[in-house]
Structures are given as C-alpha cells and as structure tokens.
C-alpha cells in the first residue's frame, strides 16, 4: 500500500491509458507484482515520465510510450538481471495483460544482449535511450548535497557521462541513441530532467 500511495500523484496525473484499454493504476499494479526493489520502481516510473515527455515532443503516442517506460524492466528481478534473458521472459506476461504488441516489441528490444533483432524504430531507440538516461540522472543526483533531481543540471549529466568510471554500468552508447531519434544529447538530457524534476520527492524519497 505504501508503494501505491507514494506514487499516487503520478497516477492521478496520468489516470487512464485510453489507447491501451488499461488504467495507469492497473499497469502499476502489474509492475509491483513483479518488481519489489524501491530503486527499480523509481527507475521504472522515471523511465515512464521520460518516455511520455519524449512522445509529447515527437508527436508520438504518449500512453503507449509511457507504458513501455513503466513496464520495461518487468522481469528484471525474476531473471536476476541476467542479460541473456532480461527483456524476454516478461513478454508472455505483457501479452497476457493485454499490452499492445508495439509496446511489447520495444520492451523486448531495450536490452540488446537478449533482443531477437536489432532496434530499428524511433520507439525502440527512444526507450533504450530514455530508460538508460534515467539511471545516469539518478546517479548524478546522488552526488549532489541535497540529492535532488531538481538540482541536477544537464551539463552535469553530460560531463559525468564522459567519465567512464562514474556509474560504470550505465551504457553511454544507449543514451546516445537519442541522436537516432533526432535529438542532440544536451537537448535530450534537459528534456528528461524536465520530465522527472516535478516528481523529485516521489522518485528520490527512497
């Protein structure tokens, strides 16, 4: 119940996923059924917020893109993050839940180590770049004295990306796929920060 209440403001902002015939609360309940780690939940919600912002900017389907961000790591815990299976074992669960096939495809391709085919569509590149950038944003916020995303500057994120020792597990090449959807890195980082900063308390209150 605490987890649901913690993110209730975000749920209220995005109440109904019209194109997917699913409420956001239903989608979030699917997520929390399989993902328990608070940091992974925060990462999933941040990825949703970034994907929604990207969809708005690019004129894409905000609900489907947000759903992909929210559920992209659905199997991360029961696969124990195994790069050879993560992103694939959730596919039957997503299909059973009625998630649209294009959303399932984007989720299936976000982890290139298990993906059956390379990413090729704007949706695919956006999810890979957006969810990876959320990890870099969290890592950057944690080194700020107040540990607030709203304090993070775009140039601070891009500067730390150049230091391969910082947040070493974050794949810089995935973030740079923003260029494949027509967004320069600096603009992409600022857009992502604009998406997540209003929800600082929910995302960083771990």
Report pLDDT for 23: 84
Report the distance separating Cα 206 and Cα 38, nearest Å. 7
Residue 17 or residue 46, greater confidence: 46
pLDDT exceeds 90 at position 8: no
Tens of pLDDT, residue by residue over 98-120, are: 999 999 999 999 999 999 999 99
**pTM (global) more than 0.75:** yes
**Contact yes or no for 181/125 (Cβ under 8 A):** yes
Tens of pLDDT, residue by residue over 149-184, are: 999 999 999 999 999 999 999 999 999 999 999 999
List C-alpha distances in Å: 143 to 101, 131, 139, 156.
Answer: 39, 20, 7, 11
In this structure, CATH architecture of domain 2-204: Orthogonal Bundle (1.10)
- Coil, helix or strand at residue 100: coil
- Residue ranges covered by each domain of the chain: 2-204
pLDDT exceeds 80 at position 15: no
pLDDT exceeds 70 at position 81: yes
Report pLDDT for 39: 94
Report pLDDT for 2: 40
Report the distance separating Cα 93 and Cα 3, nearest Å. 21
**Segment among 15-19, 25-29, 155-159, 190-194 with least mean pLDDT:** 15-19
Report pLDDT for 185: 98
pLDDT exceeds 60 at position 206: no
Report pLDDT for 22: 80
Mean pLDDT of the residues in the chain: 92
pLDDT class of 21 with cuts at 50, 70, 90: confident
**Contact yes or no for 107/100 (Cβ under 8 A):** no
pLDDT class of 4 with cuts at 50, 70, 90: low
């Amino acid at each position: 119940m605490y987890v649901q209440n913690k993110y209730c403001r975000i749920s209220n902002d995005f109440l109904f996923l019209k194109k997917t015939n699913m409420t956001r609360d239903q989608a979030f309940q699917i997520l929390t059924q399989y993902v328990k780690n608070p940091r992974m939940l925060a990462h999933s919600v941040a990825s949703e917020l970034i994907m929604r912002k990207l969809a708005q900017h690019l004129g894409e389907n905000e609900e489907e893109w947000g759903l992909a961000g929210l559920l992209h790591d659905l199997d991360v815990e029961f696969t124990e993050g195994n790069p050879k299976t993560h992103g694939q074992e959730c596919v039957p669960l997503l299909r059973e839940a009625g998630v649209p096939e294009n959303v399932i495809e984007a989720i299936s391709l976000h982890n290139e180590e298990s993906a059956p085919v390379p990413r090729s569509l704007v949706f695919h590149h956006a999810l890979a770049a957006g969810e990876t950038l959320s990890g870099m944003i969290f890592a950057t916020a944690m080194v700020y004295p107040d540990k607030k995303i709203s304090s993070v500057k775009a140039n601070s994120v891009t500067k730390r990306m150049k230091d391969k020792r910082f947040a070493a597990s974050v794949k810089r090449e995935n973030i740079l796929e923003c260029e494949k959807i027509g967004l320069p890195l600096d603009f992409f980082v600022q857009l992502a920060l604009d998406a997540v900063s209003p929800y600082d308390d929910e995302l960083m209150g771990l």
